[in-house]
Amino acid sequence: MKSLLKTLTETYGPSGHEDAVRKIIQKEVKPYADEVRVDAMGSLIVRKKPSVAAKNSKRIMLAAHMDEIGVIVSHVDKNGFVRFASNGGVFGRYTLGARIRFLNGVTGVVGFDKLEAVDQAPALNKMYIDVGATNRSNCPVKVGDFGAFERSYMEMGNRLVAKSLDDRAGVVVLIEALKSIKSTPHDLYFVFTTQEEVGVRGAGTAAYSIDPEIGIAIDVTGTGDTPASLKMAMELGKGPCVKVRDPGMLSDPRVVEWMINTAEKVKLPYQREVLLMGSTDARAIQITRAGVMAGALSIPCRYIHSASEMVDYEDLKNSVKLLTALLSKPVSF
């Protein structure tokens, strides 16, 4: 799982340009799938048909997004310095001094006009990317080119650090769950979605096509376990989180109860999640067509939307175990 996570996090895939990530996933899931297709939005839809008959068989959609936050070139000045806009939730405090890789392989460093206050990060419109050019004509990128953070994966004991753990961590969990489910009474759709970071777009169109009875997003969630952090209950190493609420959606109480009861039955650690900022693909799934019972399994993650996000390896393994337990048995609602 660590090797796959390293490969996925070090692969370029900002919103709208998930192709390279999708190819890696496709190779991993093909031996375990009954059907594999790519929809018009670029989401990878992997179906595992029911292997045992059951009265309470459900059509279940599981979603983890392939894309990562990034930037898009908006202007190149006469000296070859590149101005940019965000493609997803790029924050100034994490961007200054970052390295950016573009689709054509060009890399650059984020600089700034000047600091009005030395202890404050400037706004994105006061930053630029230095790609080594000396004028507009020899600048190797152009307006409309996409870029993403460039940073290598590393391990710090059980703590795994990389860019794009949001949501390649969820992608790995979903892949490993597919591999570990030996039999299921459900019609399962493992969906690796596009363009989550710019408005949960791929999840919405995939859910419309699948028309699931239950939807579960697998994504990261913020934590409250660092100095002076937001007062939230989620912590690294304490198990996967069962989402109750985030600003974009309220989880269906039946889904919450199902997830918690399953975790307790198989004796897996879990946390209850009330997230104070952000949302997931579950928001789009929940309001598709006439509505879907939806929830989310969340992986605690520090420093979300930075180039050095952090998760705990035990949380990843326990997330796989919980998903496997949920999907291997009939549900009672």
Q: Report, as residue numbers or ranges, the catalytic residues.
A: 196
Q: How far apart are CA 289 and CA 52, in angstroms?
A: 28
Answer yes or no: are the C-beta atoms of 63 and 191 closer than 8 Å.
Answer: yes
Q: What is the total residue count of the chain?
A: 333
Q: How far apart are CA 255 and CA 282, in angstroms?
A: 12
Q: How far apart are CA 219 and CA 229, in angstroms?
A: 20
- 72's enclosing H/E stretch is strand 70-76
- 169-202 in b/e burial notation, b at 16+ Cβ within 10 A? bbbbbbbbbbeebeebbbbbbbbbbbbbbbebbb
Give the residue from 5, 23, 12 showing the smallest Cα distance to 105: 12
Using DSSP, state whether 203 is helix, strand or coil: helix
Q: How far apart are CA 182 and CA 327, in angstroms?
A: 10
Give the residue from 29, 60, 25, 61 showing the smallest Cα distance to 42: 25
Give the residue from 194, 213, 179, 248 showing the smallest Cα distance to 33: 179
Q: Determine whether 287 is exposed, middle or buried from the number of CB atoms within 10 Å of its CB (0-12, 13-18, 19+).
A: middle
Q: How far apart are CA 129 and CA 235, in angstroms?
A: 35
Q: How far apart are CA 301 and CA 222, in angstroms?
A: 5
